[in-house]
Amino acid sequence: MKYFDYYHSPLGNMVIIEEDNAVIQLSLTSKKTDNEYLSSDTMTHTTTALLHTAKSQLTEYFQGKRKTFDLPLAPSGTPFQKKVWQALCQIPYGETRSYKEIAIQIGNPKGCRAVGMANNRNPIMLIIPCHRVIGSNGTLVGYAGGLDIKKWLLEYEKEN
């Protein structure tokens, strides 16, 4: 069974989805009704202990009090994507890495584009900090939530 709840952030409304006591998705949403997430009988809108903890940690993050998240995560993806996402979680708060640096870190120095694709498919935004990945020349490139949000997050983290 999957459980979900909404979180109202400075970035906009977000949805957090839990399955088997792990967060499997955190994303921005424009959905206003539960019916849009309840396409099957496998999702329930409720606040579980884990979803409550996730919302509390997000609040602390947006208050500038939390620099890392301590939540069980289970993003769905290929082994390569999961390797990239693990590397993203090692980027310290307020810092950035290039796609090339991540590719080298995971032992695939020519895999910059593949790292970019894995970054783009990250299902747990913010907690798996894909916003901290930038172009080799320091430019902001690609972000599923939009470059304005990526810029906001990077500036927010540098200020805090």
What is d(CA 106, CA 40) in angstroms, rounded to the nearest whole number? 37
For residue 72, is it within any domain?
Answer: no
**Which among 31, 62, 93 is the end of a domain?**
62
CATH of the domain at 42: 3.30.160
What is d(CA 141, CA 42) in angstroms, rounded to the nearest whole number? 36
For residue 34, is it within any domain?
Answer: yes
pLDDT tens digits for range 24-73:
999 998 765 555 555 556 788 888 999 999 999 999 999 999 999 999 99
pLDDT for position 44:
87
pLDDT for position 36:
58
> CB 50: neighbour CB atoms within 10 A?
18
Catalytic residues: 130
pLDDT tier at 10 (50, 70, 90 boundaries)?
A: very high
Is the predicted pLDDT of residue 7 greater than 60, yes or no?
yes
Count of domains for the chain: 2
pLDDT tens digits for range 95-145:
999 999 999 999 999 999 999 999 999 999 999 999 999 988 888 887 777
For residue 14, is it within any domain?
Answer: yes
The DSSP letter of residue 45 is E
Domain encompassing residue 19? 2-62
CATH of the domain at 115: 1.10.10.10
pTM above threshold 0.95: no
| Same-domain pairing of 24 and 94 | no
| Same-domain pairing of 146 and 121 | yes
Tell which wins on pLDDT, 147 or 75: 75
pLDDT for position 41:
65
Q: Where are the beta strands (DSSP E) in the chain?
A: 2-9, 12-19, 22-28, 43-45, 97-98, 133-134
| Same-domain pairing of 51 and 91 | no
